[in-house]
Structure 1
Amino acid sequence: MRMRPTLSWTPAEDLPPGTTDLGPVTGALSTGRVLVLSGAGISTESGIPDYRGEGGSLSRHTPMTYQDFTASAQARRRYWARSHLGWRTFGRALPNAGHRAVAAFGRRGLLAGVITQNVDGLHQAAGSEGVVELHGSLARVVCLSCGTFSSRRELARRMEEANEGFEPVAAAMNPDGDADLTDGQVGDFRVVPCAGCGGILKPDVVFFGEAVPPRRVEHCRALVGAASSLLVLGSSLTVMSGLRFVRQAAEAGKPVLIVNRDPTRGDRHAVARVALPLGTALTTVAGHLGIPLDGAAADRG
């Protein structure tokens, strides 16, 4: 379950300091069977903000909870108005050097898999295959009544038709694809229902306060069990949904390596935390391994 965003974690003073030495990361990848666990920090260079880093959105924005979304029609109106506007920007984001590096490592057969806490689809757009989307994807929508899945792009088209002239200017964009709007800007935004049964539509993502599907968790645990090491990229590991895999790897004696500029909740379990920007760090590692990065991005349509 993702913890409510109002909960916070303060790094302890006895955590090991960060380093700029990429040797352990290069060494682990050269050995192979590395499992990647990525968080919001890998997508910041694509223009998508994170939750807890410098200028993170949690300092000004409380993400929607599952309980609020399902209980209140007004909460759903507010969410969909903000998310509809945010999707125009979010859906156009392109993979950056960090995503391309992970895809290149996968093509070389160096990875045991990729688990991402992100809902942006940028790993797949960069060419990574078999990505486990721990918290789902904003590119899909699910009906809470009939369970039918549909395309977010199709929903965006329907919402455009239902809300002609809806062009507010957002104060900021958030990592969950939500744009900051006031209640006045939301106004009487019209939420469209499921085209099949008329039920409530929800993005196919795990909201705060909602549990990650058990089968997905067990699949991730199996990936950790089959890996030689775990490489965490751009995650503060503040919530248990990702931290549990770090703990599992450490308890099994598998090296945990973290690339994140700020301290994380998993530092005490790690061999090292590399405090460098992800694009720079992973491009450098790829260079050390003699792996060229493909600059072409896949079509996200």
Structure 2
Amino acid sequence: MTLLGQQDPALERCAAGPLVLLTGAGLSTDSGIPDYRGPGAPARTPMTYQEFVSGPAAQQRYWARSHLGWSRMKRAEPNAGHRAVAALGAELVITQNVDGLHEAAGTPRTVALHGRIADIVCLACRRTTSRAGLQQRLEDANPGWAATHADVAVRPDGDVDLEDTHGFVVPACEDCGGVLKPDVVFFGENVPKPRVECCYAAVEALVGSDGCLLVAGSSLTVMSGLRFVRRAAQLGIPVVIVNRGPTRGDDLAAHKVDTGTSEWLSALAEVRC
């Protein structure tokens, strides 16, 4: 384990050669978006896809809480870590985050593995729309809701800690009357195959180069991200992990740095640029 400010072989490993980045919620904590599993983070259980589609009660519960979380989450700005990633010139940035902050920072070649919370899809007709439009409809249908619950805590996916959602009105799709859902991958859903194949291809393209897979701010708890670390290790591609606390990929990493992402990635950007 290495610490920034000392001789850092992880930094040296990533200083030259092609990079593929895999980022997680830890990268956005400095933007005010909490982490699911970082040190000291409270236990959180996101709504699963199966629960969401179980009926109107679950959908009311989801949208009542998401309405509150989005009103704050949409104000988040890219932090130094996001800006550093944008400057690194990575072959591909694979992000498990749904906050859209990599795109806001101007990062080229980004795959939002789990989608973006700013997009909405109708489960019936599959029409996609902007979250901004739905947010206004939610506000119009539920006047005073945000002000009444202004003190609830926000979660990483734009949800909040709120149990009583009775009376919240959920608008339907304006085209067909179907159920609206954020266009993100819930627990219990699969990441679309083309996204997965694109990410695997970027990792596999590192074979024979002096490049590496850099993981920043992810505990790799879910397989959607861990599988790329496993593939890199299988192919002999060095894996570097920068994360506060242990991850499921630590035993596969050539280097593990237990530190925050903003400072470390900023140092890497200075070296590479």
TM-score of the alignment, normalized to the shorter chain, above 0.5: yes
Of 18, 23, 27, the residue aligned with 1:42 is 27
Aligned pair partner of 2:166 in 183, 187, 211: 187
Please give the alpha-carbon distance, in whole angstroms, between the structure 2 residues aligned to 1:282 and 1:22.
Answer: 15
Aligned sequence identity (%): 55
- AA matched with 1:161: D
Tell me the CA shift for residue 190 of structure 1: 0.4
Look up the match of 2:150. Answer: 169
Residue 141 of structure 2 corresponds to residue 156 of structure 1: no
Q: 1:83-115, CA deviations, whole angstroms, 9 ceiling, x for partnerless residues?
A: 011001101100001000000112xxxx11100
Across the aligned residues of Structure 1 and Structure 2, the Cα RMSD in angstroms comes to 1.3
Match of 1:141 among 120, 125, 130: 120
**Stretches of structure 2 lacking an aligned partner (at least 5 in a row):** none
> Which residue in the other structure is 1:221 paired with?
200
Q: Secondary structure at the match of 2:12?
A: helix
| 3-state SS of 1:71 partner | coil
Q: Does the Cα contact within 8 Å between 2:226 and 2:248 map onto a contact in 1?
A: yes
Q: TM-score, normalised by structure 1?
A: 0.85
Contact 2:15 2:271 in 1 (8 A): no
Q: Which shows bigger deviation, 255-264 or 29-38? A: 29-38
In 2, distance between residues paired with 1:239 and 1:34? Answer: 22
Q: CA deviation at 1:32?
A: 2.4
Q: Does 1:76 align with 2:59?
A: yes
Give distance in 2, aligned partners of 1:163 and 1:126: 33
Q: Does structure 2 retain, via aligned residues, the 8 Å contact 1:115–1:134? A: yes
Give the alignment of 1:63-102 within 5 angstroms. Answer: 63-102=46-85
Give CA deviations for 1:170-193 in whole Å, capped at 9, x if unaligned.
43110010011121xx22110001
Matched, 1:275 2:258: yes
CA contact (8 A) 1:28 1:34 kept: no
Separation in 1, partners of 2:216, 2:201: 19
Question: Which ranges in structure 1 are unaligned for 5 or more consecutive residues?
Answer: 1-17, 292-301
Q: After the TM superposition, which residues 204-243 of structure 1 pair with which residues of structure 2 at under 5 Å, given as runs?
A: 204-227=183-206, 228-243=211-226
* 8 Å contact from structure 1 (residues 112, 226) kept in 2: no
Alpha-carbon deviation of 1:283? 1.6
Residues of 2 paired with 1:237 and 1:182: CA distance? 28
- How far the C-alpha of 1:285 sits from its partner, in A, is 2.2
**Among candidates 78, 101, 108, match of residue 122 of structure 1:** 101
Aligned-partner residue type, residue 174 of structure 2: A
- What letter matches 1:35 in structure 2? V
Deviation >4 Å, runs of 4+: none
**Alignment-derived partner of residue 26 in structure 1:** 11
Change in CA separation of 1:47 and 1:22 when aligned onto 2, cut-off 3 Å: farther
Separation in 2 of the partners of 1:67 and 1:170?
29
- How high is the TM-score relative to the length of structure 2? 0.93
Deviation at residue 33 of structure 1 after TM alignment? 1.4
Which residue identity lines up with residue 8 of structure 2 in the other structure? G
| Amino acid paired to 2:127 | T
Deviation at 1:22, TM superposition (A): 6.5
8 Å Cα contact 1:22/1:274 also seen in 2: no
Q: What's the offset of the Cα at 1:26?
A: 3.1
Give the corresponding residue for 1:105. Answer: 88
- Following TM superposition, by how much is the alpha carbon of 1:30 offset from its aligned partner in structure 2, in angstroms? 3.1
Q: CA deviation at 1:215?
A: 1.6
The count of residues paired between Structure 1 and Structure 2 equals 265
